[in-house]
C-alpha cells in the first residue's frame, strides 16, 4: 500500500484543487450552485427515456464531459480523465463546497462502468463506457429474482443458445431500479442448470428495447419508489453481450456488488455534519426551541448520539479512502453498506421521535410538506438495509472474508 509521497503529491493536489475551483466558478451554470449536497445519487442520471431535464443540468454535464470529469478516474480512451482517486476526491470535495451536483450519476457510472473496466473486452468498453460518461445511456440491474433475494446465486433467468450468435432469455427479474427509464440492463442468467449454483451463471448485457423485455413499477410502503420488476419473454441477445466467460459470471457479479455497496455507503455519507444540522433543525421546529440548548434532555442526547455516529462514519470513509491505494472496493464496502444504512435509519427514527404527532401525516393540511415527505423518507429508509444485499448478507461477508470464520454448514 503506497501512500502518496506527501510533499510533492499534496502540492500537486493543491494545484489541482485550485484549478478545479477556478474551472467550476467559471464554467458551472450559476443556477446549479448550492443546489446539491453532491452525493452519488444527486445528479444527472442520463439516458434516452429521462423526463425533462433542465438545460443547465445538461450544460453542466457537457462542460465537465469535455474535460473527462464526468468519470474522472476512467481512462481517457473511454471518456474519462485518467485521474487518480485522490484527484477525484479533490474534485468531488470542490463540487460539494459549491453545492454542485455530480454531472453524471447512476448505475452505469457507479456499477457497470467499473465492472466493464475490469472484466469487459475492448469492444464492450468502447461501446458502453463513452456513452455512460456522456450520460447518453442509463443502466439498471437485473440481479434479484422472486426466488433469489439474499440467496443471489439462486438466479433462474433462463439463458439458452439460439443459433450460433445469440442467446434466448426467459424469466423474471425484480427490484430492477429505474428499469422503466433505463436503456440497458445488466443481468445474471442461468446458462448451466446442471452445475453447482454459482458455477452456471453468466453475466449478460441486454438492450431494454429488445422485443420481449417488459418493465413494470413496484410501489413501496413509502408510497413511491424507483423499483420495478422486469419480465423477459423470448428475448434474443447477441452472444457478444456476455461479459467475462460463459458460466463464470459469478466473479463478475461479486465485483459489481462491491461497487454497489460502495455507492450506497458513499451516498449516505455525502455531506459531513448534515445529519446533525437536519436533526437540530427538526428539534428546534418540533420542540419550539429556536435557540440555545435543546430543552428536552433525552431528545438532545439522541440527536448527539446519532450525530456522533455520523461523524465517526464520515471519518471512517475518509480513513478507508486514504488507506487504499487503488480504487476497487474490497470487503470494507460491506462495513460501509451496513453502517451507512443503519445510521440512516436511526437518523430518521430520531427525526420521527422529534416530530411526534407531526410525523403521522400521510396527506392533508394539518401537516406541512416537510412533515409529509419526512414520514415517507423514514419509510423509504427501511429498504436501505434490504436492497443492495441485506444487512445479514453483509454480515456473512464480513464474517467469512474479513474474520475468516468458517462456512455455515
Partner 1 sequence: MSVVVSNGQETLTLVLDEEQQMLRSTVRQFVDQHAPVGRLRTLRDARDERGYSASVWSEMAELGWLGLQVPEAHDGLGLGFFDLTVVLEQCGRKLMPEPLVSTLLLGAQALMLGGTEAQQAAWLPGIATGEKVVTLAFDERGARGNPHAGKALAARSGAGFTLSGTRVGVLDAHVADLILVSAQVGEGGPLGLFLVDPKAAGVTVTRHVALDLRNAGTVTLADVAVGAEALLGGDAALEVGDGGVALVDRVLDRARIGLAAEMLGGMEQAFEDTVAYLKERVQFDRPLGSFQALQHRAARLYCSIALARSAVLAAARVVDQSGDPREVAKYAALAKVRASEAFYDVAREAIQMHGGIGMTDEHDIGFYLKRAQTTLVTFGTNDALRARWAELNGY
Question: So which residues are the catalytic ones?
Answer: 260
- In this structure, what C-alpha cell is assigned to residue 134? 456522456
Q: At its nearest, how many Å lie between partner 1 and the CB of residue 188?
A: 24
In terms of CB distance, is 93 or 370 closer to partner 1?
93
What are the φ/ψ torsions at residue 240 (nearest 5 degrees)?
-65, -10
Tell me: does residue 83 bind partner 1 (CB under 8 A): no
Stretch that binds partner 1, among 39-47, 60-68, 91-99, 238-246 (CB under 8 A): 91-99
Q: In 48-95, which ranges are E strands? A: none
- Interface residue with partner 1 among 44, 184, 313, 378 (CB under 8 A) is 313
CA distance 232 to 228: 13
Tell me: does residue 288 bind partner 1 (CB under 8 A): no
For residue 193, the number of C-alpha atoms closer than 13 Å in the C-beta half-sphere is 5
Nearest to 192 by CA among 220, 222, 225, 155: 155
Tell me: does residue 90 bind partner 1 (CB under 8 A): yes
- Interface residue with partner 1 among 127, 156, 210, 276 (CB under 8 A) is 276
Contact yes or no for 188/112 (Cβ under 8 A)? no
Contact yes or no for 135/47 (Cβ under 8 A)? yes
- In this structure, what C-alpha cell is assigned to residue 11? 502540492
- Interface residue with partner 1 among 294, 350, 352, 355 (CB under 8 A) is 294
Stretch that binds partner 1, among 146-154, 165-173, 187-195, 315-323 (CB under 8 A): 315-323
CA distance 173 to 162: 21
DSSP class per residue in 162-220 = -SSSEEEEEEEEE--TTGGG-SEEEEEEES-SSS-GGGGEEEEEEETTSTTEEEEE---
- Interface residue with partner 1 among 163, 164, 364, 406 (CB under 8 A) is 406
Stretch that binds partner 1, among 48-56, 193-201, 258-266, 312-320 (CB under 8 A): 312-320
Tell me: does residue 315 bind partner 1 (CB under 8 A): yes
Contact yes or no for 176/229 (Cβ under 8 A)? yes
CA distance 275 to 224: 23
Handedness of CA 331, 337, 342, 347 (dihedral sign): positive
CA distance 334 to 331: 6
The label of the residue with cell 415527505 reads 373
In terms of CB distance, is 194 or 403 closer to partner 1?
403
Q: At its nearest, how many Å lie between partner 1 and the CB of residue 322?
A: 5
Task: State the binding string over 94-123 for partner 1 (x if CB under 8 A, else -).
Answer: x--x--------------------------
- In this structure, what C-alpha cell is assigned to residue 179? 428499469
Tell me: does residue 53 bind partner 1 (CB under 8 A): no
Tell me: does residue 216 bind partner 1 (CB under 8 A): no
Q: At its nearest, how many Å lie between partner 1 and the CB of residue 10?
A: 4
Stretch that binds partner 1, among 147-155, 203-211, 314-322, 353-361 (CB under 8 A): 314-322
Stretch that binds partner 1, among 27-35, 106-114, 148-156, 391-399 (CB under 8 A): 391-399
* Burial (CB count <10 Å: 0-12, 13-18, 19+), residue 34: exposed
Q: What is the contact surface with partner 1 in residues (CB under 8 A)?
A: 3-4, 6-7, 9-10, 13-14, 17, 90, 93-94, 97, 276, 280, 283-284, 293-294, 297, 300-301, 303-305, 307-309, 311-313, 315-316, 318-319, 322-323, 332, 335, 338-339, 392, 394-396, 398-400, 402-409
Amino acid at each position: 500500500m503506497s501512500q502518496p509521497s506527501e510533499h510533492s503529491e499534496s502540492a500537486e493536489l493543491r494545484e489541482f484543487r485550485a484549478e478545479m475551483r477556478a474551472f467550476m466558478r467559471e464554467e458551472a451554470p450559476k443556477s446549479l450552485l448550492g443546489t446539491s449536497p453532491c452525493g452519488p445519487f444527486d445528479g444527472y442520471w442520463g439516458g434516452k427515456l429521462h423526463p425533462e431535464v433542465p438545460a443547465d443540468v445538461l450544460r453542466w454535464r457537457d462542460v465537465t464531459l469535455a474535460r473527462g470529469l464526468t468519470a474522472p478516474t476512467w481512462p481517457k480512451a473511454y471518456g474519462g480523465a485518467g485521474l487518480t482517486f485522490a484527484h477525484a476526491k479533490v474534485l468531488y470535495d470542490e463540487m460539494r463546497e459549491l453545492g454542485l451536483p455530480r454531472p453524471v450519476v447512476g448505475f452505469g457510472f457507479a456499477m457497470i462502468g467499473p465492472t466493464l473496466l475490469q472484466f469487459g473486452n475492448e469492444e464492450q468498453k468502447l461501446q458502453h463506457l463513452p456513452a455512460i460518461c456522456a450520460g447518453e445511456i442509463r443502466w439498471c440491474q437485473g440481479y434479484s429474482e422472486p426466488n433469489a433475494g439474499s440467496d443471489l446465486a439462486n438466479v433462474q433467468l433462463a439463458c439458452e443458445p439460439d443459433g450460433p450468435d445469440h442467446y434466448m432469455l426467459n424469466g423474471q427479474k425484480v427490484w430492477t431500479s429505474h428499469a422503466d427509464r433505463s436503456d440497458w440492463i445488466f443481468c445474471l442468467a442461468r446458462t448451466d442448470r446442471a452445475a453447482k449454483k454459482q458455477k452456471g451463471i453468466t453475466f449478460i448485457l441486454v438492450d431494454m428495447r429488445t422485443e420481449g423485455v417488459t418493465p413494470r413499477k413496484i410501489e413501496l410502503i413509502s408510497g413511491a419508489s424507483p423499483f420495478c420488476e422486469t419480465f423477459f419473454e423470448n428475448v434474443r441477445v447477441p452472444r457478444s453481450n456476455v461479459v467475462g466467460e460463459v458460466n463464470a459470471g459469478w466473479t463478475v457479479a461479486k465485483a459489481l456488488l462491491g461497487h454497489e455497496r460502495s455507492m450506497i455507503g458513499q451516498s449516505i455519507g455525502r455531506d459531513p455534519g448534515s445529519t446533525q444540522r437536519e436533526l437540530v433543525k427538526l428539534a428546534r421546529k418540533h420542540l419550539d426551541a429556536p435557540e440555545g440548548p435543546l430543552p428536552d434532555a433525552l431528545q438532545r442526547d439522541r440527536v448527539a448520539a446519532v450525530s456522533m455516529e455520523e461523524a465517526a462514519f464520515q471519518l471512517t470513509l475518509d480513513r478507508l479512502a486514504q488507506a487504499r491505494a487503488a480504487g476497487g472496493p474490497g470487503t470494507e464496502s460491506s462495513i460501509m453498506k451496513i453502517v451507512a444504512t443503519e445510521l440512516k435509519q436511526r437518523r430518521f427514527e430520531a427525526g420521527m421521535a422529534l416530530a411526534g404527532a407531526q410525523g403521522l401525516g400521510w396527506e392533508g393540511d394539518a401537516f406541512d410538506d416537510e412533515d409529509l415527505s419526512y414520514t415517507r423518507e423514514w419509510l423509504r429508509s427501511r429498504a436501505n438495509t434490504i436492497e443492495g444485499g441485506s444487512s445479514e448478507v453483509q454480515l456473512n461477508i464480513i464474517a467469512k472474508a474479513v474474520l475468516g470464520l468458517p462456512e455455515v454448514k
